[in-house]
Structure 1
């Protein structure tokens, strides 16, 4: 029953938001409560909700101060040179804009953090998309693919989990995957170019000379809040923040809180200016953080009722015995839907070890299974369990369900390309040699 309830809950949530019967916030809060009351008492469901919210509280804090930090940096003008450079490169061509988005998104995603990548890229690129009239959904899809590829870097999270679960060195897992990531990047650039060609046909390669001037005028029109004299200190602070994130000097929520406080003090030392900056960005913070805590209800009930474990066990039971020699590609393909409905922790520490134990009897190594398990990560970014995706759709003011529906096939294509690439170059074996 728990298995059916779990899949029923996820399916109901997805149908409601994709058909726009409910907003993501309402569905995240009410759907799991309705299903949870079938499996547990009201008191137990209440405790599960609070446990889920508590577990996501650090993520909520990190996103709160992450949004504030990069918004303050934008107000102060840190990204103005980057925006000017992109404007001059893109000109008035949607094709160049989309390809530039793919390159920029992947470069910024080197830190492995989706929230940071979305804030920086949307800040720099959104004025161009709006002025040129290019669909914002294309921006969202391309950035999702950037994170789907770069989330495999060791400090991104999944690779460390897979290596730890398999008791192998992170380098043995990650380094062979670099060519596969490059293949994924080539696919991403190709899709971005396709989107760009579609937009070029729809709106044309614009020749209006005022497009560049209009975007730059938006920058120049905010001179009262710009702090050009603080460009170098702001850049050094941001680089220090990224370094501390990669090295794990402090937890992310603490790093962003400290960095936000320093940024406010450096750029807006007057109390009234600090209040003004916080008030300006409060609505963006509320839109994202409210979804995060609602997602805590979803994950708390999914886990607390035992639905999550039942879904994990169910994934293992549906695999037929004849798949044994093909466990590596089977795991690669399974990792996409598995990490969509399960958290990364549940999949890598709950499901992967069992799959790897079976694979070992056929001579498939733990490192190969770890690599295979990472190839479905692009689809994981579309999961309702991933907090940063809510940030992306909030920044672009697009519907969560629309983003799911529009991005799904392109992201699945990325997974297929990476799996095929891994098989072709021998990163994972097609069939065991035992």
Structure 2
């Protein structure tokens, strides 16, 4: 009964946001409440929702100050040289722009943090997309697809969770999966090429001198906000912050708060200017952070009612015995919907050990199951439960449902390519 309720809740939620009957934020709050009442959890619903909100609070605060930090850096002109360099290389060709976007996003994703990837990639590329006339949704899709593949990096989160849950080392899980990851990267570049071709057909190649375009992009922000004399200091602050994030010197939330405080004080020491800069990003920050806390209600009720556990057990117990020897492939395929409909913590700490235990009964190494569990991650980042994706759609001004509709098929394609490479190279057993 719980499993059925959980599946129905997910289906109703997805239908509501993809048909635009409700906004994602409203659906995240209303749908779980309705299903909790249907399931008879009315009395415990409050504590469950509050627990979910508490669990996402650090992420919400982190995203708030990440928006403010990178917003200050954008205003100060930190990314102008990057934009000028990209303009010089890609000029007005949508194909080159799309591939350049993918390369940029893939490189920035090396830090393992989706929020950072989106902030830098969108900040650098969105002005160019607008000048050329390319769809911002294409930019968002390429960024999320790139981050989805690079999410396999051990410091990205899921891989570390898989190693912890199965008590294995990096050499057991991540290192063998690198060829699959490379396959995913190549697929993302292919996707960017296809999307660029489509945009080129729609708008053509614009023969505009890159210097002229750089000047046009520069005038889109008030010249008075630029801080060219502080650009070296700003680059140093940004690099130090990224290094600290990768090395986990302090919690991510604290690092962004400190980084923002330093950045705004150095670039805009006047209190009136500081207030204006914060107000300028208030709308975007509010829409994104409110979505994160709404997602906390959804995950809190989904976990608190044990619907998520019932759903996982139902799927696992319905795997036919005859398919037991193919459990690694089954795990790889299931990892896509599982990580889409539940948090990484729920999947890797709750479901993965069950999958590994079931597979061991068929003589399959737990390490192979761990590797297989990572191959569905490109789909994970399009989940309504991933806070950073709300930041992404907020920055480009697009609808979350539109992003899912347009790029879920590409995410599935990336997953299938990674699974195919894993099977061909016997990274996971057939």
**If the length of structure 2 is used for normalisation, what is the TM-score?**
0.97
Q: CA deviation at 1:40?
A: 3.4
Q: State the secondary structure of the residue aligned to 1:110.
A: helix
Tell me if 1:192 matches 2:189. no
Aligned to 2:333: 333
Aligned to 2:310: 310
Aligned to 1:202: 202
1:78-115 C-alpha deviation (Å, 9 max, x unpaired): 11110110111110100000010110110011111111
More divergent stretch after superposition (157-166 vs 237-246): 237-246
| d(CA) in 2 for partners of 1:19, 1:175 | 41
Tell me if 1:283 matches 2:283. yes
Indicate conservation of the 8 Å contact 2:177/2:371, yes or no. Answer: yes
Aligned to 1:270: 270
More divergent stretch after superposition (224-233 vs 284-293): 224-233
Aligned to 2:216: 217
Matching of residues 351-370 of structure 1 within 5 Å: 351-370=351-370
Aligned to 1:373: 373
| d(CA) in 1 for partners of 2:391, 2:37 | 29
Tell me if 1:253 matches 2:249. no
Structure 1: give runs of 5+ residues left out of the alignment: none
Q: CA deviation at 1:41?
A: 4.4
Aligned to 2:63: 63
| d(CA) in 1 for partners of 2:61, 2:352 | 30
Q: CA deviation at 1:212?
A: 5.4
Aligned to 1:385: 385
Q: CA deviation at 1:223?
A: 2.2
1:395-421 C-alpha deviation (Å, 9 max, x unpaired): 111111111111111110000000001
| d(CA) in 1 for partners of 2:126, 2:151 | 23
Aligned to 1:238: 238
| d(CA) in 1 for partners of 2:80, 2:343 | 37
| d(CA) in 2 for partners of 1:423, 1:4 | 33
Indicate conservation of the 8 Å contact 2:372/2:428, yes or no. Answer: yes
1:163-183 C-alpha deviation (Å, 9 max, x unpaired): 111111123311222221111
Aligned to 2:322: 322
| d(CA) in 1 for partners of 2:344, 2:41 | 28
Q: Cα RMSD between the aligned structures?
A: 1.4
Indicate conservation of the 8 Å contact 1:312/1:346, yes or no. Answer: no
Aligned to 2:403: 403
| d(CA) in 2 for partners of 1:395, 1:143 | 12
Q: State the secondary structure of the residue aligned to 1:250.
A: coil
